[in-house]
Structure 1
């Protein structure tokens, strides 16, 4: 899937978070968990879980 978005990553109390703004939904928030080949991004707010939001997804390391 291709998505045009602006994003930022932050670290709070030892946890990593991803904030994403797309054309359809602003202020989508995800908790990042490192997995063997990248990260799992778990949707943690209403905007990210909305029909036009990204929902939970995985991020793979570039090869």
Structure 2
């Protein structure tokens, strides 16, 4: 039972970190877009890049 608890808690933490990463990119990227320091395409590129980082960890 301990192995399953460890597996699911690690999976939860991994998913939480991934979602916080997306929220951070959208928040900071949105702020930069509003201020005119970057373009929306840059934010989309960062989000798609983050998706490729998560791929090896999916179960």
Q: Same fold (TM over 0.5)?
A: no
TM-score by length of 2: 0.26
Q: Which protein is richer in strand relative to its size?
A: 1
Computing the radius of gyration from Cα coordinates, the structure with the larger value is 2
